[in-house]
Amino acid sequence: MFKYFEPNKIFSITSKAPKYVLISFIIVLSIGLVEALILSPEDYKQSHSVRIMYVHVPAAWISLGIFSFITVLSIIGYIFKIKNFFLISKSLAPSGFVFNIIALVTGSIWGKPTWGTWWAWDARITSMFILALFYLLYLIAWRIYKDDEKVFKITSIITIVGIINVPIIKYSVDWWSTLHQPASINLLSKSSIHASMLFPLMIMTAAFALFSILIFLMKYNTELIKIKNKGLDRL
């Protein structure tokens, strides 16, 4: 089955896909921005500041999703020695890190009018900050270590240790008394968010997901060309 993940086979698709993903991203983002900034209602308590949610929440979801995915790929890649899984993980990490930073900064901007402070070392914010550090460590490891075996091992360890933090982020608002509000959207029970706000949130999440796919494809193609450059040197 894993032969289908060979870079040579994948490249013919990934080299053509970015332009379609970019067009889809621009369309979905445009709809999302109109919904988020103009059509969606203001909150009865937070007024218009609630609109920050439409960038803050999707960014946080995607950064958590990418880190979890990277961990799964790294573990499978390490066990079955699939180099391409590490290449995919490496290509996903930059967008995951940037979404993590967006979640932290927009959360901080949202915190000022809502809590009266830009930053608080509460459980949710601190655990998201720790996730950003794990992303940073992961990206630095790829820059520092040139030996494949070593970098695969070290990045796998970073993701395995870092994944412990993911459920802490998720449940921090339930386990501890935090400034951050509990989750408004639950997959297993009824969400406390109104449909008029849920719809733009989902559109913006789709737009952000498309952007992360776009960045992944471009980065992945770059990594493949890098490998091919080394191949030409050996000819």
Q: What share of the chain is helix, strand, coil (3-state, %, to 5)?
A: 80, 0, 20
For another protein, how many residues bind (rule: CB under 8 A)?
Answer: 48
Residues across the chain = 235
Return the residue of 60, 73, 102, 158 that touches another protein, per CB under 8 A. Answer: 102
Tokens 């990418």 found at: 66
Query: Is 47 a residue that touches another protein (CB under 8 A)?
Result: yes
Tell the smallest beta-carbon distance from residue 100 to another protein (Å).
Answer: 11
Return the residue of 35, 40, 55, 138 that touches another protein, per CB under 8 A. Answer: 55
Nearer to another protein, 106 or 156 (CB): 106
Query: Is 68 a residue that touches another protein (CB under 8 A)?
Result: no
Query: Is 41 a residue that touches another protein (CB under 8 A)?
Result: no
Cα–Cα distance, 96 to 142 (Å, whole number): 15
Nearer to another protein, 94 or 171 (CB): 94
Tell the smallest beta-carbon distance from residue 164 to another protein (Å).
Answer: 27
Cα–Cα distance, 56 to 62 (Å, whole number): 10
Whole-number Cα distances in Å, 101 to 32, 84, 88: 21, 27, 21
What 3-state class would DSSP assign to 53?
A: helix
Give the range of 42-50, 72-80, 124-132, 140-148 binding another protein by CB under 8 A.
42-50
Query: Is 24 a residue that touches another protein (CB under 8 A)?
Result: no
Cα–Cα distance, 135 to 190 (Å, whole number): 32
**Other Cβ atoms closer than 10 A to 110:** 19
Cα–Cα distance, 5 to 50 (Å, whole number): 42
Give the range of 43-51, 80-88, 148-156, 185-193 binding another protein by CB under 8 A.
43-51
- Per the CB < 8 A criterion, the answer to whether 90 and 223 are in contact is yes
Query: Contact residues for another protein (CB under 8 A)?
Result: 7-8, 11-12, 15-16, 18-19, 22, 33, 37-38, 42, 47-49, 51-52, 55-56, 59, 94-95, 98, 101-102, 105-106, 109-110, 112-113, 211, 214-215, 218-219, 221-222, 224-226, 228-229, 231-233, 235
